[in-house]
Chains A and B, each alone.
Chain A
């Protein structure tokens, strides 16, 4: 293993400390999407009977949404934690080492991908418990991979804000980004049933394609025509948000 890989591993491991050593800290990020899933299913479950609804039941339709919300929470938490590290001076310690800024950034955001597995697994398990059919191993793996990728992208977004504002007071902005991106998708109704303006936003929102990719297996089969747009959208988000975070790191690092 190279020195840079060891740094990413160490910083990623450190990012998991909050989950592993302060279990209570991850409760909000786990509870919120789970409550969304259970609450919305019980309130709007009948929506699945609408003509044009593409799933047999509402819970199956929104389980992937809950999993992506878990990713959004994990991404935002990475930014909030970085802002706290900046306030406390820990971040200066990182900037004082000769390691490449890209390596430091990779270490900081890497933990988001792993952290996202906790809320998304709980949402997934809760879905299975309330009767959502097993989507198959391939679909499950794809869904979790997309969740981790989205968490990584949103961690880059939150990291950019943390580096720009250098305060935990920017936490609402960090949390809002992921929340809005997941909300303005066909999260709770198929695209064709969305109101005109919402449909227009969902069409250009890259998370729509990530969600549709993650929904495979839950709704319909896993197909390449629905998979590649998800991967492309995620790749584009990672490229854009990652480059913004790298720019922020380089500016802060000097």
Chain B
């Protein structure tokens, strides 16, 4: 059984803006599914529908075997959610928040204390448990948010851009926790703008753009679809700069080189893989072109994104529908 399944899922807001335009997904149990897309692509709207915060205007979705529109309470019992902004009450202490969350999920008073302690220890916040959340750092807040999402041992965990704005150490800590959850059999639906994050954590990746799923597969499958590895060549600058024309002529038997942006680079596709490198270097040497450096670049998820959408995934670039409200 799929942990998450959608068919033609749609959401159109008042005013006619369609944020999600017919998404079909099937996330297997125990899988980490990376949901990748730029700001405004429809990631958060999709998540808000899947976690019952927003009613779909078209299509259907089931989470943990329950329909999100018809059985929202059953869905809520099975899911844990850490939304984009860690919405935590700054006046409460970490321990109070975890205990409140446990109470909201109907955990018996006898178990609340023990469960709270267990989770706070797991996210390394035991020492800070009696401090007000307003004094926590961004990374601590994210970890507390994760603890809150896990309080009732959900079968499916939704993490909406969990590492946005975090420092590298906090990001790694969160990644480790996601790996631990996967090992424990939890299904994780992870939205992110970071290609590396999806590449590192996800068993499969779905790429959404303009409210539509434009690609889906394992990171390796998607990258293989995006084409061959390429060779980036850097040439030593002479008096008037490197002789790129001579270099390009020497490279022509191996393919059509593309110039880089700074006048010292050429890029060449490597359909034959690394075996082509030695002949290429020899050809350049024989042509008297001085090579300064070379690098084999494997296709990335960004290449997949470009291939499927025609533009790059830029986390910093806001999109028109990013400002659309949740209702």
Inter-chain CA distance A94–B51, complex, in Å, is 12
A97 proximal to B (CB < 8 A) = yes
Give the interface size class of chain A: 20 to 34
Q: Does A95 contact B (CB under 8 A)?
A: yes
A89 contacts which chain B residues (CB < 8 A)?
83, 85, 87
Q: Are B87 and A7 within 8 A (Cβ)?
A: no
Q: Contact: B76 with A97, CB < 8 Å?
A: yes
Q: Which residues of chain A are near B74, meaning CB under 8 Å?
A: 98
Other-chain residue from A1, A10, A22 in contact with B100 (beta carbon distance below 8 A): A10
User: When each residue 51-92 of chain B gets 1 if its CB lies under 8 Å from chain A and 0 otherwise, what string results?
Assistant: 111010000000000000000111011010101010111011
| Cβ–Cβ < 8 Å partners of B168 in chain A | none
Q: Mark B94-121, 1 if CB is under 8 A from A, else 0.
A: 0000011101111001000000000000
Bound Cα distance from A232 to B30, whole angstroms:
57
Task: Give chain A residues whose Cβ lies under 8 Å from the Cβ of B89.
Answer: 14, 17, 90
Within 8 A of A (CB), among B17-52: 51-52
Please measure, in the bound complex, the distance between the C-alpha atom of A7 and the C-alpha atom of B327, giving whole angstroms.
Answer: 26
Tell yes or no: B148 within 8 A of A by CB.
yes
Which residues of chain B are within 8 angstroms of A1 by Cβ–Cβ distance? Answer: 109
Task: Give the interface size bracket for B toward A.
Answer: 20 to 34
B residues less than 8 Å from A93 (CB atoms)? 87, 101, 148
Given contacts A93-B87, A93-B148, whether A98 and B73 have CB atoms under 8 Å apart is yes
Residues of A within 8 A of B53 (CB): 92, 95-96
Knowing A89-B87, A90-B88, A90-B89, the reply to whether A98 touches B76 (Cβ < 8 A) is yes
What is the CA–CA distance of A92 and B85 in the complex, to the nearest angstrom?
11
Bound Cα distance from A22 to B89, whole angstroms: 13
The verdict on A6 contacting B92 (CB below 8 Å), with A92-B87, A95-B53, A99-B104 known, is no
* Chain A residues within 8 Å of B87, by CB: 88-90, 92-93
Query: Does the CB pair B91–A92 fall under 8 Å?
Result: no
The closest CB in chain B to the CB of A100 belongs to: B73
Known: A14-B100, A89-B83, A93-B148. A98 touches B105 (CB 8 A): yes
Given the complex, which residues of A lie within 8 Å of B88, measured CB to CB? 90
Residues of B within 8 A of A98 (CB): 73-74, 76-77, 105-106
The minimal Cβ–Cβ distance linking B77 to chain A, given in whole angstroms, is: 5
Cβ contact within 8 Å between A14 and B92: yes
Q: Which of B76, B91, B132 contacts A96 (CB 8 A)?
A: B76
Whether A18 is near chain B, meaning CB under 8 Å from some CB there, is: yes
For the complex, give the distance between the alpha carbons of A7 and B101 in Å.
9
Q: Which 3 A-B pairs have the closest CB atoms?
A: A89-B87, A97-B104, A98-B76
A-B contact pairs, 21 of them (CB 8 A): A1-B109, A3-B106, A6-B109, A7-B103, A7-B104, A10-B104, A17-B91, A22-B91, A88-B85, A92-B87, A93-B101, A95-B52, A96-B52, A96-B76, A96-B81, A97-B105, A98-B76, A98-B77, A98-B105, A98-B106, A254-B72
